């Protein structure tokens, strides 16, 4: 009864967010998918900023996303850097211009002010987090969540360590989205 209502509200919020993304993009000659891709690239870690990962994150094929990334590069919103170890791999890093644009895109949305001064914000965050987690576990795709909730993330006196790559992670690092993320079982 009440959960179909939550469902409807969430669906409608999605519609509205998409409309706003479309409207914002139009001011800069950008498509919604381009905004989405660039947003992801400002939030993901160094293991996850590849065309492949962007495609998986957004549920699009690599061929499709490749075209959108080409446009973003042509508009100087991101740069492509070849990987040092694996020469097949390309890393995508937003330029200052690209980062600024995404900042504006987020600020332009009516979601942020709608959440401001919301009294039960902490509780809302907690319920939404667990909902997202269930959805992620349910749909059989990669979770694409931040390292601090990952089962590979280890904490010692020296700081954080990724058990998968065996690389140390900073406090900022563990807030970033990782394509290798797995929830603890």
Partner DNA sequence: AATTATAGTATCGAATCGAAACTATAATTA
Partner DNA sequence: TAATTATAGTTTCGATTCGATACTATAATT
Judged by the rule CB under 8 A, the positions of this chain that interact with its own copies are 2-20, 22-23, 36, 39, 43, 57-59, 106, 109-116, 118, 120-125, 127-132, 134-136, 138-139, 141, 144
What span, in angstroms and rounded, lies between the C-alpha atoms of 151 and 17?
Answer: 31
141 touches DNA (CB under 7 A) = no
63 touches DNA (CB under 7 A) = yes
Return the range that interacts with DNA (CB under 7 A); candidates 57-65, 106-114, 121-129, 135-143: 57-65
Assigned token pair, 61:
């094929």
53 touches DNA (CB under 7 A) = yes
166 touches DNA (CB under 7 A) = no
Return the range that interacts with DNA (CB under 7 A); candidates 9-17, 56-64, 106-114, 155-163: 56-64
Cα–Cα separations (whole angstroms), residue 67 to 37, 55, 56, 72: 11, 11, 15, 9
Binding-site member from 1, 2, 4, 88 for DNA (CB under 7 A): 88
What span, in angstroms and rounded, lies between the C-alpha atoms of 135 and 52?
Answer: 22
Residue 27 interacts with, from its own copies, DNA, none (CB under 5-8 Å by kind): none
Let me know if 19 is exposed, middle or buried by CB neighbors in 10 A (0-12, 13-18, 19+): exposed
Q: Which is nearer to its own copies, 97 or 141 (CB)?
A: 141
Q: Which residue has the tokens 């009516």?
A: 110
- Residues 175 and 181: beta-carbon distance below 8 Å: no
Residue 113 interacts with, from DNA, its own copies, none (CB under 5-8 Å by kind): its own copies
C-beta atoms surrounding 157 within 10 Å: 4
What span, in angstroms and rounded, lies between the C-alpha atoms of 37 and 57?
Answer: 9
4 touches DNA (CB under 7 A) = no
Residue 161 interacts with, from its own copies, DNA, none (CB under 5-8 Å by kind): none
């Amino acid at each position: 009864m009440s959960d179909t209502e939550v469902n409807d509200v969430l669906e409608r919020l999605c519609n509205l967010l998409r409309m706003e993304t479309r409207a914002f993009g139009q001011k800069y000659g950008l498509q919604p998918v381009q905004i989405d891709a660039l947003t992801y690239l400002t939030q993901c870690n160094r293991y996850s900023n590849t065309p492949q990962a962007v495609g998986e994150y957004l549920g699009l094929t690599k061929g499709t996303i490749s075209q959108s990334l080409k446009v973003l590069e042509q508009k100087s919103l991101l740069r492509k850097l070849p990987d040092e170890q694996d020469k097949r791999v390309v890393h995508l890093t937003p330029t200052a211009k690209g980062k600024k644009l995404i900042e504006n895109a987020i600020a332009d949305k009516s979601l942020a002010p709608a959440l401001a001064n919301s009294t039960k914000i902490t509780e809302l965050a907690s319920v939404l987090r667990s909902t997202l987690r269930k959805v992620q576990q349910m749909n059989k795709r990669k979770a694409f969540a931040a390292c601090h909730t990952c089962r590979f993330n280890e904490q010692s006196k020296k700081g954080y360590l990724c058990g998968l790559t065996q690389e140390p992670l900073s406090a900022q690092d563990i807030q970033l989205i990782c394509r290798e993320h797995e929830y603890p079982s």
